[in-house]
Structure 1
């Protein structure tokens, strides 16, 4: 995608949603970290449903450690991979207490030392909590970036690198939110809804998908 088209791509998404936010619910940076860890291979809606009661009383590492792994599992058992995730959340909570004084570090390298926290999770926490210009690449961002031609890369790291290099101001802070939401609600995995896409003329995807009403009945 050409430089001018990249600017226009983001401009249109920003015009439709000037202040995008994560759909994960949290009350502070610690609960945000926990929510992002829990969201791996799970939907934000599913995580929110499981954590509302949890975050009503557990809002810091000490409270999580006191709740314990079994107690945490009772809250998140509807989330995929909940056993592993519960183990990681308790372990990272212990580490936050022992190494970071109970505070979530605001450095990506330090965040990545926590159990269950990879580069994407660290990038999300830094962006959402601190407004850092990071470019977390989840499945939605990876798909949209490649499908549209915005940032074609064979790996998550390659796509992140291209997005970081080519995303212009004033769109850098919210870029990944726009891409996630576009992928979640318009540029869907199985069938992108090209007929209602605001950036259809800038997108490299071919052939464009037709509205359901225009799809021949014989192939629906």
Structure 2
């Protein structure tokens, strides 16, 4: 099975329209406000192809299984090989999470581990069962409850500012009205709140609102660059736009969750290298190894580089 998968990857890499090695500085494609609404920031970069995203999704799913922490957000319509859902319909996780709860969870997850962010959210909800209580509480009290998640003063200010603005604008602390808005309207609406950035919005879109979106965090950004899905000079904001244009909607959720999980577990694919985590993850089992080794020189000849990419 392993040899078959590697042969499939090698054949695909040889047949795929891989781009010529990117120059150190990109040519300017767009300027000013047009950049925000660009249909495609890297129109000459033809990866990933739909076929490639499907192969990577299936290989990562075979390696990791579907991450259990994301099962409750998974739509029944998500396409996946049968038998890999890890009890999606049997775990009793179908209860809908409020948009506001999800938004605060994403804020607390910034610059910390999953374990610490979950602890911070649980501590916050335990100390202040309602968001009205969070808004009314002294900032220092809120900071103390979420300190385990790091950056407590910054995150507290963001949460309390968001709650205050929401109450002023809507008269109640509830974001459920977003469910009836289009994706672009949601992005525009949430961008009005200080401290709510594009990645936070994208996570809320994909998880709480179950829209076809593909958030790009540091794990996914690093992997996307290392396997050639974006040019070498790509930045994270344009990578988000590029991948959302290139990845089929029906694969976005599964692929995003799997790439995020793989980026945390695989020492070779982790942004911080093999010192990131002391895991027993076998380097030879990484299904992205062949992609990471593949390079195209200016003449179009395939080269190989070291496993550290």
Q: Does TM, scored on the shorter chain, surpass 0.5?
A: yes
**Aligned pairs (5 A) from 1:1-220:** 1=47, 3=49, 4-15=51-62, 16-18=64-66, 21-22=69-70, 28-56=98-126, 58=128, 60-100=130-170, 101-104=172-175, 106=178, 107-152=186-231, 154-186=234-266, 187-191=269-273, 194-204=283-293, 206-209=305-308
How many aligned positions are there?
207
Higher helix share: 1
Please give the secondary structure, in 2, of the residue aligned with 1:98. helix
Q: Secondary structure at the match of 1:136?
A: coil
Q: Deviations over 1:67-120 (max 9, x none)?
A: 331221111123332112111111101112121332225211111212221010
TM-score by length of 2: 0.60
Of structures 1 and 2, the one with the larger relative CO (CA 8 A, separation 6+) is 2
Contact 1:5 1:202 in 2 (8 A): no
Q: TM-score, normalised by structure 1?
A: 0.82
Larger Rg computed on CA atoms: 2
Tell me, in whole angstroms, the C-alpha distance in 1 between the residues paired with 2:165 and 2:290.
Answer: 49
Structure 1 unmatched runs, 5+: 210-220
Distance 1:52 1:27 in 2: 14
Task: State whether residues 132 and 173 of structure 2, in contact with CA within 8 Å, keep that contact through their aligned partners in structure 1.
Answer: yes
RMSD over aligned CA atoms reads 2.5
Note if contact 1:95-1:114 (Cα within 8 Å) is conserved in structure 2. Answer: yes
Return closer, same or farther for 1:142/1:8 CA change in 2, 3 Å cut-off.
same
